Structure formats: structure tokens, C-alpha cells
């Protein structure tokens, strides 16, 4: 487990030079899992935006009930990869996805698969809190109503807000507008909204980047609790955060030769302590990227 593991903050003086970091491509080191452990898998995944290749041949297996962090420099395809996992990229004009995303033995990009159903089972929490201009209650039950689920809405609200560690703070003002909540509370409300439809996987795109330190720690505590019930994939620019919350980490890269490349994927402890790729070492020690 990688919980509370802190990556190194200073470079290793015996490490590779900057020139080596930019030229040593090497072979990718990618963790493999038994089939029974895999919740989601990408195979030869490529994403184009128009003529631009933004993600190149991503092959990853995301283990069930674990937190996988995706890290890397800006523009390396982290969010592109994340959005591909539940077909959110299809909402971007000019986007094209090739390859496969396997979930429950089915390619999520197969013609017969309904993208709305995909996003129902694989939820998304975005970088900035995005509550709807509705009451706290209506925010939580929005997906349940839209999908026509026959459930006790009061029970849904209490359960989802409890899971998001927000119930005690808002239970007496569920009819208040969600915009009256603090930034951290709004983000937990968005998490509750995602949980209300009972997804199997939760995707998080840098969910604490817009929050203050106290709210950030609250979100991190919540992520650690949620992995008992859900598979979580999180993009983060904060390597200390990746070390604190994730079990596995995928290092993405981009350079003049190729954009959006997976270069290494391993347990968080192994990747941060003994990286196989010199670019990973350079990135986590702050020397490069």
C-alpha cells in the first residue's frame, strides 16, 4: 500500500543528467495484474484532437478497489487518458479515440455500447467544483432522476452525503442552494452526486487543485475511504498527494518526439523509490518536467 508515502523532494546527485532524461526512451515498465484483479483496462489506446495525436498507445490495467494516480508534466495526456475511460472525450469536437477500453469483458467503444450508460457506471469528478444551480438535495439526486432510477430519494441523499463525509454539515439545510457551500464542501457535494448513481469506478481530474490545504486533506481522506468500495483513478499534479492517496502510479510523458506517452506504471512506493525510467526519476525529484 502507498498510503502516506512521500516521494523524494530533492534530486539524487548520482542520477542521470538532463540530457539523459530527454533522450533515454528505453522500454516501458508497466505493472501487470491477474485478470480477476482488473477493473478496467486500456489496450492500444490512442486519442487525436483533429490532426494532433494527444495520447499514444496507452496500455494500462487498473486494479479493482485500488487508487491509481496518473502523473506527469503539463500536456502529457493525463486528462485525455482519464476522459477516455468513460468516453467523455467524445464530447470534445474533433476528438477521435482508437484502441480499446475493456470493462466487464466488453469494449466500451464498441458500436452497441451506450455512452450514457458508460458514464453512469464510471463516474467523473472534475477539477473545479461544478454544482448545479439547485438545492443541495437536488444536486445529489440529479443523476438518479435523469436515469429514471426507482429509489427512495431521501435515502439516496443521506447515503451519498454520508459517503462524501458531508451529511453532518448540511443535513439541516438540504434545501439551500449549493452555491452557498464552501469550495471544499462543493467538491464533496459533486463527489456525492457521482456516488448517488452507484458507479463502479470513479474518475477524478485533479479534484483538489482548486481547494485550500484543509479542504485538500479532507478530499484525500475521503479518497482513502472510498477505495474500500470503489476503483478510483485520479489525475494529480501534486506528487506528494499521489504518494499519500494512491496504491499505483502511472507516469506519463511528452517531448518533441511524441505526445501523451505512458513511460512507467508500478506501485506508488516502487515508482517513487526505485523508478525504472530516468525521466520518472527526473520528474519526481523536480529536475525535469
Q: What range defines the domain where residue 188 resides?
A: 18-284
Nine-digit cell string for 88: 467523455
How far, in Å, CA of 177 to CA of 194, rounded? 18
Q: How does DSSP classify residue 135?
A: B
* Rounded mean pLDDT, 97-114: 96
pLDDT in tens, 2-22: 445 555 444 443 343 333 333
Long-range contacts of 211-214 (CB under 8 A, 24+ apart): 211/183, 211/184, 211/187, 212/183, 212/184, 214/184
- pLDDT at position 206 over 60: yes
pLDDT in tens, 151-202: 899 999 999 999 999 999 999 999 999 999 999 999 999 999 999 999 999 9
Q: What is the largest CA-CA distance in the chain?
A: 61
For residues 262 and 280, the answer to whether their CB atoms sit within 8 Å is no
Of residues 207 and 257, the one with the higher pLDDT is 207
Whole-number average pLDDT of the chain: 89
Would the pTM count as exceeding 0.75?
yes
pLDDT in tens, 37-51: 999 999 999 999 999
Total domain count, the chain:
1
pLDDT at position 146 is 85
**How is the chain split among helix, strand and coil, in percent rounded to 5?**
35, 25, 40
Query: In this structure, what CATH number is given to the domain that contains residue 82?
Result: 3.40.50.300
In Å, how far are 10, 102, 186, 234 from 78, measured between CA atoms?
24, 19, 24, 9
4 belongs to a structural domain: no
Amino acid at each position: 500500500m502507498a498510503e502516506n508515502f512521500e516521494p523524494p523532494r530533492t534530486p539524487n546527485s548520482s542520477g542521470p543528467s538532463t540530457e539523459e532524461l530527454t533522450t533515454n526512451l528505453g522500454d516501458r515498465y508497466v505493472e501487470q495484474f491477474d485478470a480477476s484483479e482488473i477493473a478496467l483496462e486500456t489496450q492500444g489506446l490512442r486519442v487525436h484532437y483533429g490532426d494532433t495525436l494527444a495520447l499514444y498507445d496507452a496500455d494500462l490495467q487498473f486494479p479493482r478497489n485500488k487508487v491509481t494516480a496518473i502523473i506527469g508534466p503539463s500536456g502529457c495526456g493525463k486528462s485525455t487518458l482519464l476522459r477516455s475511460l468513460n468516453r467523455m472525450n467524445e464530447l470534445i469536437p474533433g476528438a477521435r479515440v482508437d484502441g480499446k477500453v475493456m470493462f466487464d469483458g466488453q469494449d466500451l467503444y464498441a458500436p452497441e455500447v451506450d455512452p450514457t450508460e458508460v458514464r453512469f457506471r464510471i463516474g467523473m469528478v472534475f477539477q473545479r467544483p461544478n454544482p448545479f444551480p439547485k438545492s443541495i438535495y437536488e444536486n445529489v439526486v440529479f443523476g438518479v432522476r435523469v436515469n429514471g432510477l426507482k429509489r427512495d430519494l431521501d435515502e439516496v441523499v443521506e447515503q451519498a452525503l454520508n459517503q462524501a463525509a458531508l451529511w453532518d454539515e448540511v443535513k439541516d439545510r438540504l434545501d439551500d442552494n449549493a452555491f452557498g457551500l464552501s469550495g471544499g464542501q462543493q467538491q464533496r457535494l459533486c463527489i456525492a452526486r457521482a456516488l448517488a448513481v452507484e458507479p463502479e469506478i470513479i474518475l477524478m481530474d485533479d479534484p483538489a487543485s482548486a481547494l485550500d490545504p484543509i479542504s485538500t486533506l479532507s478530499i484525500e481522506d475521503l479518497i482513502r475511504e472510498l477505495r474500500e468500495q470503489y476503483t478510483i483513478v485520479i489525475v494529480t499534479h501534486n506528487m506528494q498527494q499521489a504518494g499519500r492517496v494512491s496504491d499505483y502510479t502511472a507516469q506519463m510523458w511528452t517531448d518533441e518526439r511524441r505526445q501523451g506517452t505512458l513511460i512507467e506504471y508500478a506501485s506508488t512506493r516502487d515508482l517513487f523509490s526505485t523508478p525504472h525510467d530516468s525521466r520518472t526519476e527526473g520528474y519526481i525529484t523536480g529536475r525535469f518536467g
